[in-house]
């Protein structure tokens, strides 16, 4: 998910209303984020976005009240099975998008 609500809403707004928007919500413990932060750690970005996530997660879980938003909550599931579920979602989304663009190519304007 985009942590900042205006970014989530802007992305969802460009999708036609008959297409489902999927918010996939993922989080890891702060200690893991800090361990993997690299240059971000020195700038305090990890802590900043960790706090923003905590502030925004309830709103994101409501789908920002979007009528076509589906929530997939993978918080605490970043295990191999959680990653497989995420991969499956990505593949499914791409197959749907691909089949929609293929079916629209044969249409004349």
Mean pLDDT, rounded, for 40-65: 91
Q: Whose CA is closest to 15, among 106, 75, 96?
A: 96
Instruction: Tell me the pTM.
Output: 0.64
If one counts the domains in the chain, the total is 1
Provide the residue range defining the domain that includes 23.
5-105
23 and 56 Cβ atoms separated by less than 8 Å: no
105/102 Cα distance (integer angstroms): 5
- In the DSSP assignment, the letter for residue 32 is H
For 75-106, the pLDDT digits (tens) are 877 655 556 666 676 665 544 444 444 444 44
């Amino acid at each position: 998910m985009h942590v900042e609500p205006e970014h989530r809403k802007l992305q969802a707004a460009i999708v036609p209303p008959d297409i489902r928007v999927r918010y996939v919500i993922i989080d890891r413990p702060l200690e893991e984020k800090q361990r993997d932060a690299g240059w971000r750690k020195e700038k305090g970005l990890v802590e900043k976005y960790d706090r923003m996530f905590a502030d925004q997660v309830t709103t994101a879980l409501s789908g920002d009240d979007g009528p076509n938003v589906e929530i997939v909550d993978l918080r605490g599931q970043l295990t191999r099975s959680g990653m497989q579920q995420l991969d499956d979602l990505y593949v499914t989304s791409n197959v749907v998008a691909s089949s929609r663009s293929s079916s629209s190519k044969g249409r004349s304007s």
